[in-house]
Amino acid sequence: MSVINIILLSILIVGALWTVLTRSLLRAAIALAFTSAIVAALMFRLDAPLAAVFELSVCTGLISVLFISTISLTYPLSQEEKLQHMQVRMQRFRWLPVIVVALGIGLSLMTVKFTLPALAPQTQSDMRLVMWDLRPLEIFGQVVILLSGAFGVIILFKEAGKK
């Protein structure tokens, strides 16, 4: 278990905590992008380069842009309300770091004894060929859901502008 993995995982947890506990929504969206980048780095470490690149481009890029544009489109509160809101918020969220630390210590003390079954070695080791030869139904599913997402965006966003 190498040290770099442990360091990356710890930075991941710190990043996720920052996302949840931070005050302004905009910083939360940026922290979410940072967390996605650390997840992509972990995927690179675990020999999954294609999935890591996908996660970087889609989650770090697309979803963060979506969130930041939504936050700027729905910018609501005045300064006074914002200050009050933040203090009340911290009271609800102060339990989270405590739970995280307790859970971490508790789980690492647990020793799970199970034996993983020996599996047959994989037949195809290139992800692109697996996707095209063994699982074409997933490609089809992605096409359908992108089409349906396009319909949804047209229907949802068009009339919001008209009204």
Per CB under 8 A, which of residues 22..51 are in contact with another protein? 25, 28-29, 32, 35-36, 39, 42-43, 46-48, 50-51
Residues 102-131 that bind another protein (CB under 8 A): 103-104, 107-108, 112, 114-122, 124-127, 129-131
Least distance (Å) from another protein to the CB of residue 16?
5
Least spacing, CB of residue 87 vs another protein, in Å: 14
Q: Out of 79, 80, 87, 99, name the contact with another protein by CB under 8 A.
A: 99
Torsion of Cα atoms, 60 then 93 then 100 then 45, to 10°: 10
- CA 54 to CA 33: how far, in whole Å? 14
Tell me which residue has tokens 């009271």.
91
Q: In 3D, which of 21, 34, 88, 99 has the Cα closest to residue 60? A: 34
Q: Residue 141 interacts with another protein (CB under 8 A)?
A: yes
Token pair 């993983």 is found at: 116
How many residues of this chain bind another protein (CB under 8 A)?
A: 88
DSSP state of 107: H
> Contacting another protein (CB under 8 A), which of 4, 7, 58, 86?
58
Nearest to 21 by CA among 81, 77, 99: 99
Among 30, 55, 84, 86, indicate the residue that binds another protein (CB under 8 A).
55
Of residues 60 through 89, those in contact with another protein by CB under 8 A are 62-63, 66-67, 70-71, 73-74, 76-77
152 binds another protein (CB under 8 A): yes
Task: Using alpha carbons, select from 29, 23, 31 the residue that is nearest to residue 86.
Answer: 23
| Closest to 55 measured CA to CA, from 31, 28, 37, 29 | 37
- Selected binder of another protein within 4, 7, 20, 86 (CB under 8 A): 20
